[in-house]
């Protein structure tokens, strides 16, 4: 161990001009941190950082030796003097454990300065390495809570990352010579997604979700007990995106002994925490106990390591992880694993949108190498063709206007994260071009908070939305939207309106409350814009259920008559429809040797696998939960 670090130290020493006065080199999680006594000298050569990172093949962080730091009080004064007022700095916090200062601001570009000039000035004058964070344009308790917790837990995080760095940089005694994948959940179903990737040296989970549409334990959670290993033997957990069917079970791992890292993108971390806290809250109102508590979510948060798209990261001595844009929700990613030195490359798409949305660029389809692809099949069935977006938007607005004209209320159940923001953009655009559209659009539940998180990460949004957020014209803050501050009954008793409320499949949350209040009124309408999974109440209503049992006041089950008009408007999905899935498979670069399908109800996984096989003449299959597949 000591040897490995000595070697690293020597390598860095050789690359650095002696005048930088190298004091220490250490691993910190997947990164290498270089401490210098004379950091100003380092920045004289602009190519130095690239040269070192290229040679070490790691992300490299440059920091001052603690002895070269000014006191936080002095540094604070200097930073305030250096950063222009227009940058809108909202918070400055010091992390002595990391020799870093976090600067939160509304305009990070101005804290960085032209070519990084302002940043450098901060480093030269204070010694502290600035970490630039964007303040959301709408207040977000999640974002501020997570940033506070990072500060509070900095000691623990430093210990955790140093230890993790040691593990990742210690080569195994024998090289991996096989790769195996076990299907632990989400195969031939939508929900509880979970995949175990195993080599002789590593055990990694990709996604670890719940099925929020059922309360039956055996169907709700992944088959972790079949792994044949204990949770503390896992090396890493990698999360594609924040929907609960992909991340809802992660805190459970920490409750029962896992202490390793969770890798995800920065927005996924924030949205994941928001949705997990909400999951606990929703369950606490019913009769099923939550599989974990809030403290387990916090423990998970202390172990999250965030990575941006396209960053290549060593997550074990033999596995490199890269996230690629999946186009599905904010921060959603596909996972690329490069295993061994060329032993095997696998891609797992997570949920993917290979088509137009107002919020995101379409999913990436090119990878450096990929022999095996695991792809989602939500709309992989032979009839799952979605109308084009323009038609979908027209149909949605017609459904809404018809309801308004007959003095009804239009309830649109949506996922708090994803569909709600997409539908908000459609409504906002319509209102801009139709001044006669003057009914309130109520935003209930977590939609507001989720939208606020979007404004903290504009670089993950499509360019024109990004531009609007950056120029103080965020569509999420349009005045047509009214966050619900009154009792729901008042809205139901009031004038015609549109209501956007989670959950998207009516499994709980405000949308279910509104359903109870609106269901009997014939003038009202229920408009589905997102996927309704096989076990959901939404699916039952789509299939024409005219009476449904729902928990009333005091938790008593009562039968509710459904007289409201029920409509489904397709075309807003954050999932690819069948033709988009097929186009994705066809356009994959390079062409994979095999494709496995998953994340689909009923026969959809089989359907998609069969069609891709006919189209590309490569091996395809739709594995079952608990199947183990040897890839190499
Ligand atoms: Zn999803
Ligand atoms: Zn999903």
Distance (Å) from CA 189 to ligand 2 centroid: 10
User: Could you count the other beta carbons within 10 Å of the beta carbon of residue 214?
Assistant: 19
Please tell me the predicted confidence (pLDDT) of residue 422: 95
Q: Tell me, what DSSP letter sits at residue 485?
A: -
Of 46-55, 212-221, 371-380, give the range with the top mean pLDDT: 371-380
Per-residue b or e along 293-306, where b marks 16 or more CB atoms closer than 10 Å to that residue's CB: eeebbbbbbbbbbb
CA-to-CA distance for 282 and 304, rounded, in angstroms?
Answer: 24
| pLDDT mean across residues, the chain | 95
Please tell me the predicted confidence (pLDDT) of residue 379: 95
Please tell me the predicted confidence (pLDDT) of residue 556: 83
Tokens of 106: 């509304």
- Least distant ligand from the CA of 210: 2
Could you tell me what percent of the chain has a pLDDT over 70?
99
- Least distant ligand from the CA of 191: 2
Q: In whole angstroms, how large is the CA radius of gyration of the chain?
A: 25
- pLDDT for 288 beyond 90: no
CA-to-CA distance for 550 and 558, rounded, in angstroms?
Answer: 5
- Least distant ligand from the CA of 377: 2
Best CA proximity match to 217, nearest among 127, 283, 119, 306: 283
Distance (Å) from CA 481 to ligand 1 centroid: 25
Distance (Å) from CA 378 to ligand 1 centroid: 10
CA-to-CA distance for 576 and 388, rounded, in angstroms?
Answer: 12
CA-to-CA distance for 554 and 551, rounded, in angstroms?
Answer: 8
Distance (Å) from CA 419 to ligand 2 centroid: 13
Which bin fits 420, alpha (ψ -120 to 50), beta or left (φ > 0)? Answer: alpha
Pairing of strands 557-561, 547-551: antiparallel
Please tell me the predicted confidence (pLDDT) of residue 3: 62
Mean pLDDT over residues 308-327, rounded? Answer: 98
- pLDDT for 2 beyond 60: no
Residues 95 and 148 sit within 8 Å (Cβ to Cβ): no
Question: Higher model confidence: residue 508 or residue 330?
Answer: 330
Distance (Å) from CA 591 to ligand 2 centroid: 24
- Least distant ligand from the CA of 378: 2
- pLDDT for 5 beyond 80: no
CA-to-CA distance for 629 and 566, rounded, in angstroms?
Answer: 43
pLDDT digit string, tens, across residues 482-506: 999 999 999 999 999 999 999 999 9
Neighbouring C-alpha atoms within 13 Å toward the C-beta of 185: 28
* pTM metric for this prediction: 0.94
CA-to-CA distance for 127 and 336, rounded, in angstroms?
Answer: 37
CA-to-CA distance for 357 and 530, rounded, in angstroms?
Answer: 13
| Local structure of 195: helix, strand or coil | strand
Which H helix or E strand runs over 515? helix 509-518
| Local structure of 214: helix, strand or coil | coil
Best CA proximity match to 389, nearest among 134, 129, 569, 140: 569
Tokens of 526: 């229920």
CA-to-CA distance for 91 and 103, rounded, in angstroms?
Answer: 6
- Least distant ligand from the CA of 212: 2
- Least distant ligand from the CA of 533: 2
Distance (Å) from CA 245 to ligand 2 centroid: 5
Angle at 413 between CA 408 and CA 418, to 5 degrees: 135
Distance (Å) from CA 241 to ligand 1 centroid: 7
pLDDT digit string, tens, across residues 124-176: 999 999 999 999 999 999 999 999 999 999 999 999 999 999 999 999 999 99
Question: Higher model confidence: residue 80 or residue 214?
Answer: 80
Q: At 335, give phi and psi (nearest 5°).
A: -110, 125
Please tell me the predicted confidence (pLDDT) of residue 214: 82
The pLDDT-based confidence of 4 (bands split at 50, 70, 90) is low
Strand boundaries in 96-245, DSSP class E: 100-105, 129-134, 180-185, 194-198, 203-208, 236-238
Please tell me the predicted confidence (pLDDT) of residue 174: 96
Distance (Å) from CA 351 to ligand 1 centroid: 5
Mean pLDDT over residues 63-85, rounded? Answer: 97
Residues 63 and 99 sit within 8 Å (Cβ to Cβ): yes
Distance (Å) from CA 576 to ligand 2 centroid: 12
Per DSSP, what are the bridge partners of residue 563?
A: none
Residues 444 and 501 sit within 8 Å (Cβ to Cβ): yes
Distance (Å) from CA 243 to ligand 1 centroid: 5
Distance (Å) from CA 113 to ligand 2 centroid: 40
Tokens of 43: 């920045």
Distance (Å) from CA 627 to ligand 2 centroid: 20
CA-to-CA distance for 512 and 491, rounded, in angstroms?
Answer: 15
Q: How far is CA 438 from the centre of its chain?
A: 34
- pLDDT for 1 beyond 80: no
Distance (Å) from CA 597 to ligand 2 centroid: 13
What separation in angstroms does the CA of 431 have from each of 390, 393, 401, 428, 437? 16, 13, 12, 5, 6
Distance (Å) from CA 262 to ligand 2 centroid: 18
Distance (Å) from CA 240 to ligand 1 centroid: 9
What separation in angstroms does the CA of 246 have from each of 125, 216, 263, 381? 45, 18, 13, 21
- Least distant ligand from the CA of 333: 1
CA-to-CA distance for 29 and 331, rounded, in angstroms?
Answer: 21
CA-to-CA distance for 137 and 230, rounded, in angstroms?
Answer: 43
Could you tell me what percent of the chain has a pLDDT over 90?
91
CA-to-CA distance for 33 and 163, rounded, in angstroms?
Answer: 14
Mean pLDDT over residues 262-289, rounded? Answer: 93
Pairing of strands 180-185, 628-630: antiparallel
Mean pLDDT over residues 545-557, rounded? Answer: 84
CA-to-CA distance for 48 and 109, rounded, in angstroms?
Answer: 23
Distance (Å) from CA 604 to ligand 2 centroid: 14
pLDDT digit string, tens, across residues 225-269: 999 999 999 999 999 999 999 999 999 999 999 999 999 999 999
Residue 520's contacts (CB-CB under 8 Å, 6 or more residues apart) are 560, 561, 562, 563, 564
Distance (Å) from CA 212 to ligand 1 centroid: 12
Q: Find the distance separating the first CA and the last CA of the chain, reported in whole Å.
A: 30
Residues 573 and 375 sit within 8 Å (Cβ to Cβ): no
Could you tell me the domains of the chain? 2-66 (3.30.300.230), 72-135 (3.30.300.20), 179-383+575-630 (3.60.15.10), 391-568 (3.40.50.10890)
CA-to-CA distance for 504 and 413, rounded, in angstroms?
Answer: 5
Question: Higher model confidence: residue 212 or residue 481?
Answer: 481
Least trusted range by pLDDT, from 246-250, 312-316, 546-550:
546-550
Residue identified by tokens 């071009």 is 433
Residues 38 and 44 sit within 8 Å (Cβ to Cβ): no
Best CA proximity match to 376, nearest among 402, 341, 352: 352
CA-to-CA distance for 500 and 415, rounded, in angstroms?
Answer: 9
Distance (Å) from CA 2 to ligand 1 centroid: 43
- pLDDT for 470 beyond 80: yes
Distance (Å) from CA 126 to ligand 2 centroid: 46
Distance (Å) from CA 531 to ligand 2 centroid: 10
Distance (Å) from CA 385 to ligand 1 centroid: 19
Distance (Å) from CA 207 to ligand 2 centroid: 10
On the question of a cis peptide bond just before residue 247, with omega within 30 degrees of 0, the verdict is: no
Residues 421 and 461 sit within 8 Å (Cβ to Cβ): no
Distance (Å) from CA 436 to ligand 1 centroid: 35
Tokens of 506: 């009516």
CA-to-CA distance for 453 and 110, rounded, in angstroms?
Answer: 21
């Amino acid at each position: 161990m000591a040897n490995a670090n000595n070697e690293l130290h020597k390598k860095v020493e050789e690359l650095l001009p002696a005048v930088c006065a190298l004091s220490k080199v250490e691993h910190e999680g997947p990164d290498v941190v270089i401490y210098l006594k004379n950091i100003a000298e380092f920045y004289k050569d602009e190519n130095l950082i690239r040269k070192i990172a290229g040679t070490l093949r790691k992300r490299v962080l440059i920091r001052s030796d603690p002895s070269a730091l000014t006191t936080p009080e002095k540094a604070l004064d200097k930073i305030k003097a250096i950063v222009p007022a227009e940058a809108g700095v909202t918070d400055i916090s010091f992390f002595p454990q990391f020799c870093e200062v976090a600067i939160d601001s509304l305009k990070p570009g101005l804290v960085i300065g032209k070519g990084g000039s302002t940043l450098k000035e901060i480093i030269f004058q204070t010694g502290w390495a600035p970490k630039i964070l964007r303040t959301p344009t709408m207040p977000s308790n999640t974002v501020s809570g997570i940033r506070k917790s990072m500060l509070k837990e900095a000691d623990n995080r430093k210990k955790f990352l140093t230890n993790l760095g040691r593990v990742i940089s210690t080569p195994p005694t024998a090289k991996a010579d096989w790769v195996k994948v076990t299907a632990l959940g989400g195969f031939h179903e939508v929900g509880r997604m979970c995949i175990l990737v195993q080599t002789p040296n590593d055990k990694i989970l990709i996604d670890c979700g719940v099925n929020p549409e059922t309360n039956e334990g055996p169907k709700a959670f992944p088959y972790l007990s079949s792994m044949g290993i204990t949770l503390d033997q896992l090396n890493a957990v990698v999360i594609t995106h924040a929907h609960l069917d992909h991340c809802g079970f992660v805190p459970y791992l920490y409750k029962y002994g896992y202490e390793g890292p969770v890798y995800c993108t920065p927005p996924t971390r924030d949205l994941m925490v928001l949705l997990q806290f909400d999951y606990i809250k929703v369950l606490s109102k019913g009769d099923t106990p939550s599989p974990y508590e809030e403290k387990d979510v916090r423990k998970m948060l202390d172990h999250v390591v965030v990575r941006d798209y396209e960053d290549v990261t060593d997550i074990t001595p033999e596995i490199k992880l890269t996230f690629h844009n999946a186009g599905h929700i904010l921060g959603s990613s596909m996972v690329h694993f490069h295993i061994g030195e060329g032993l095997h490359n696998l891609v797992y798409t997570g949920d993917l949108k290979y088509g137009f949305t107002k919020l995101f660029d379409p999913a990436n389809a090119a990878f450096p190498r990929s022999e095996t692809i695991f792809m989602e099949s939500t709309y992989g069935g032979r009839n799952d063709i979605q109308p084009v977006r323009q038609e979908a938007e027209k149909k949605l607005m017609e459904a809404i206007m018809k309801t308004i004209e007959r003095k009804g209320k239009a309830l649109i159940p949506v996922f708090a994260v994803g569909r709600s923001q997409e539908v908000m953009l459609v409504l906002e655009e319509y209102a801009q071009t139709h001044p006669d559209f003057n009914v309130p659009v109520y935003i209930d539940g977590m939609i507001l908070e989720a939208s606020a998180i979007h404004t903290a990460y504009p670089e993950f949004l499509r360019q024109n939305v990004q531009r609007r957020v950056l120029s103080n014209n965020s569509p999420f803050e349009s005045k047509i939207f009214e966050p619900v501050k009154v009792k729901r009954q008042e809205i139901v008793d009031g004038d015609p309106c549109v209501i956007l409320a989670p959950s998207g499949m009516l499994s709980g949350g405000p949308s279910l409350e509104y359903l109870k209040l609106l269901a009997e009124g014939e003038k009202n309408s229920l408009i589905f814009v997102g996927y309704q999974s096989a076990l959901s109440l939404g699916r039952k209503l789509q299939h024409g259920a005219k009476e449904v049992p729902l928990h009333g006041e005091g938790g008593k089950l009562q039968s509710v008559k459904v007289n409201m008009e029920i409509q489904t408007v397709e075309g807003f999905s954050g999932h690819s429809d069948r033709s988009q899935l097929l186009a994705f498979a066809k356009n994959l670069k390079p062409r994979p040797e095999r494709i496995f399908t998953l994340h689909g109800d009923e026969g959809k996984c089989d359907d998609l696998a069969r069609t891709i096989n006919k189209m590309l003449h490569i091996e395809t299959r739709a594995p079952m939960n608990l199947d183990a597949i040897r890839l190499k």
